[in-house]
A and B are shown apart, each in its own frame.
Chain A
Amino acid sequence: MSTPPHAPAPAQARAQARAAAQQADRADPGAGAAGADLSAPRGRPGATGAPVDARPGAPSRGLRFVHAQYALALVVAGLCLSPFALVFAISLGEVEAGAAWNWGVSAANYARVFVGLDWPESASFVYMRKLGWSLAYAALGAVIAVAFAFPFAWAMTRRSRRAQTVWLVFLLSSLSLSEVFVVMGWDVLLSNRSGLPMAFRETGLTDWLKAVGWFDVLREIGLATPRNVRFKPSVFATVLTLSYLVFPYAVILLYPALSRLDPAMMEAARTMGARPFTVIRTVALPACRLPIAGAALLLFVYLLGAYVAVTVFADPSRQTLTITIYESVRGATLNAPFGAAQAMVLLVTAVACLGASLALAKRAERRS
């Protein structure tokens, strides 16, 4: 692209505008920043010594644009960062027993998240375990969703364009189902009188399990009552629902990469004698490893905040930090500082996980 000789290149123009703005600020320190910035350069177009734009008003427009950019950046930073700053400030607060919480600068809430209330007399890792479950559910849910979404999206891209569009519309529309609806649906599907346990009982599967002795094994791992199998609350139901929740996202995230995959590569592999599975394993998967890792990471972070599925399907001994955050802030103790401290720990953990994954990905890239 050629630049007209009379107009500065975009980068030049920005530098010019920035320099002009600084000059203006220096020239009129008493004036309000905005007023000085906008008026000063117009009178002294060549003052900076930089190439001069011949068009009257051009530097001013550029200047306005730069300042608008700064202002926008400030607004966005403010909007993004102020909630975090607020949560962090609250997390340093202290709660009065049986009354309200007050602002403070105490790290006690963080200590409690890590080693419990009774520290240093005794240490309890109850909240760390909850954090562990948060990570476990999110990781399992994301990996399972991506594992199922990959072959699904693969198969989708092999269909006609029309069929692909229909599937995409269907998947997109399924995103309109909220977490609450999905959880309600699975709740019914796993219920004793209307769901899977009923099917087990009616088809005689329950009796058969009892006859062969496997029923007692199910009872021991909490998947049966003395009367019938039961699937909730359980880790199985929780992970199932979480995976189901993010499955459409996984397909939509993988679809572009898979549809862009050059069919010639696969055909070449096939003509050289590779079986279809080998083609997927050695050609398609490596070619898509970045989108796959990216999708899994995104869904992992998304699932860290899952609330409804966990509260309905997970036993309290296997519930996540999200639940206790809510209970601390809105529950009977009204201990917002402790809830905020847990939220900060969850946030930092999520960021650390993302950072570690990116570092690993970079290392893998370098190796290959």
Chain B
Amino acid sequence: MTTRRPRLILPSASAASAPASGPASGPISGLSRRSFLRNSAATAGAVAAASALGAPALAQARSLRIGSYGGYFENSFKEFVYPEFTAATGIEIESVTQPNSSDWLVTMQNAASSGAVPADLSLYARDTMIRAARIGGLLAPMDPAAMPNAEGLESRFLYTGDAGLMGVGAMAWFTSMVINPNVVEAPASWAEFWDVETYESSLGLNKLYNSYLLDIAAATFFDGAETMGSKDGIMACMEKIAELKPCVGLWWSAESQMEQAMKNEDVIGGTYYHDVAGLMASEGFPIASIFPREGNPQDYGSWCLTEGSEKSAEAAEFINFASLPSTQALMSRKIGTAPLLPQSGTDLTDAEFASVSGTPAITPAYEAYLDEAEFIKEEWEKMLAA
């Protein structure tokens, strides 16, 4: 994708990293969320946006390298968010492609051991962020005073480790209940998925142990996050998921598998990303994203500052900008992410808000997934294999 953003000659501090902009323009990560579905929409939007934007001021002295999930995600950031930031602050952004998985942690570890800084700011899932903070030497604490807008976000999206503020929420997304509205009625509760009469071999559920099915079971049949706080509670949720197995026709691991299965009617319901389901529905495919009474699991990504980065001031300015209600709304409209503040705090219309978010939200038991990772993973494997 081409932009009208002029290539600038960067000052010496960032000149060495200039080649890193190479991979940024390609739709690299086939596995990343959202990278597969909306290329055509992205292209059209990009052309429109590129023509609408004026050329930013030349001869920038300040720059910042930011990592984001490759493909649609990154392209949208480059087209809609970064230019606004550059126009507002004069700081030039260089985009770096990163995976939306623990893989990024491996990259960061390797980079840290060789003294490199692949990106000044990058996106971390909450569990990966906590893991990185525990490993140490990967993330640098940030100064809350330099980013006053971050206080406007819901407090659960700020992560403070032992060393200080380690991560500020960037955007959120929902894994929601989806159904084929041509075949089944919209369930009022997740519990209806356990009805073998209706759903025998017909649900598509995420196969990974940390895909929040356990949290759904906890919220539907037990006391929610509290239940996930003990091994007994986790096992109770696990047994509940085991009862769901006769209804599962597909345990998907790649997002595209579930997309195809819904399109082909191999499955008639399951779990999928709320915003992508909405887009598929708008393209005429038989899928509806439902918020049952227990809600849907909400996950989010955080901006984290890389240890060793010399751009902490610029990074703080970017996070401050990204935390603005207007930027959150812009991201919801253009990228399909859920805002990290209530709808009333933004200028999103009801329809716009509903297309990316909903209530209630189930907050995943992140600590359990970290501290009991091997236990949960192995019990999950056993449950699936039984």
Contacts and interface: CB of A to CB of B under 8 A. Distances in A.
Interface residues of A, number: 43
B378 A225 contact: no
Interface stretch (A27-35, A185-193, A349-357, A360-368): A185-193
Contact of B265 (A193, A233, A332, A333): A193
Contacts of B154: none
Contacts of A96: 134
Interface string B42-74: 000000000000000000000000000000000
A98 B266 contact: no
B130 interface: yes
B384 A332 contact: no
B378 A230 contact: no
B374 A95 contact: yes
B373 interface: yes
A192 B266 contact: yes
A57 interface: no
A334 B265 contact: no
Contact of B378 (A117, A227, A232, A312): A117
B102 interface: yes
B102 A330 contact: yes
B264 A98 contact: no
Q: Say whether chain B's binding surface is mostly helix, strand, loop, or mixed.
A: helix
B333 interface: no
A226 B265 CA distance: 13
B208 A332 contact: yes
B201 A97 contact: no
A219 interface: yes
Interface in B333-379: 369-375, 377-378
Contacts of B223: none
Contact of B250 (A95, A117, A233): A233
A42 interface: no
Contacts of B109: 100
A232 B248 CA distance: 12
A222 interface: yes
B240 interface: no
Interface string B118-151: 0000000001101100110000000000000000
Interface centre among A97, A194, A222, A335 (most CB of B within 10 A): A97
A330 B130 CA distance: 17
Interface in B81-137: 101-103, 105-106, 109, 127-128, 130-131, 134-135
Contacts of B372: 97
Which of B263, B374, B384, B386 has the largest number of chain A CB atoms within 10 A?
A: B374
Given A98-B134, A100-B109, A233-B250, A332 B201 contact: no
B307 to A, nearest CB: 14
B188 to A, nearest CB: 22
A324 B255 CA distance: 18
B134 A126 contact: no
B192 interface: no
B257 A330 contact: no
A126 B106 contact: no
Given A117-B378, A219-B200, A225-B201, A316 B207 contact: yes
A99 B264 contact: no
B131 A311 contact: no
Contacts of B377: 327, 331, 333
Contact of B200 (A129, A226, A316): A226
Given A192-B266, A193-B265, A317-B385, A332 B369 contact: yes
B156 interface: no
A225 B106 contact: no
A112 to B, nearest CB: 8
**Range class of the B interface residue count:** 35 or more
A112 B377 CA distance: 13
A193 to B, nearest CB: 5
B106 A334 contact: yes
B370 to A, nearest CB: 4
Nearest to B106: A334
B148 to A, nearest CB: 31
B201 A187 contact: no
Q: Main SS of chain A's interface residues?
A: loop
B7 interface: no
A164 interface: no
Contact of B253 (A194, A232, A311): A311
A230 B266 contact: yes
A144 B101 CA distance: 38
A194 B102 CA distance: 35
Interface string A74-111: 00000000000000000000011111100000000000
B194 interface: no
A126 B380 CA distance: 10
Contact of B373 (A129, A191, A230, A333): A333
A48 interface: no
B282 interface: no
Contacts of A23: none
B200 A225 contact: yes
A208 to B, nearest CB: 20
A319 to B, nearest CB: 8
Given A100-B135, A191-B260, A316-B251, A129 B374 contact: no
A315 B251 contact: yes
27 contacts: A97-B373, A97-B374, A98-B131, A98-B371, A99-B131, A99-B134, A99-B135, A100-B131, A116-B378, A118-B378, A126-B382, A193-B263, A224-B201, A225-B200, A225-B201, A225-B202, A225-B249, A230-B249, A230-B266, A233-B250, A311-B253, A315-B251, A316-B251, A317-B386, A332-B102, A334-B102, A334-B105
Interface of B: 101-103, 105-106, 109, 127-128, 130-131, 134-135, 200-202, 207-210, 249-251, 253-254, 257, 260, 263-266, 369-375, 377-378, 381-382, 384-386
Interface of A: 95-100, 112, 116-118, 124, 126-127, 129-130, 187, 191-194, 219, 222, 224-227, 230, 232-233, 311-312, 315-317, 324, 327, 330-335, 338
Given A126-B382, A330-B103, 15 more contacts: A97-B370, A97-B374, A99-B135, A116-B378, A117-B375, A192-B265, A311-B253, A317-B385, A317-B386, A332-B209, A333-B373, A333-B374, A334-B102, A335-B373, A338-B374
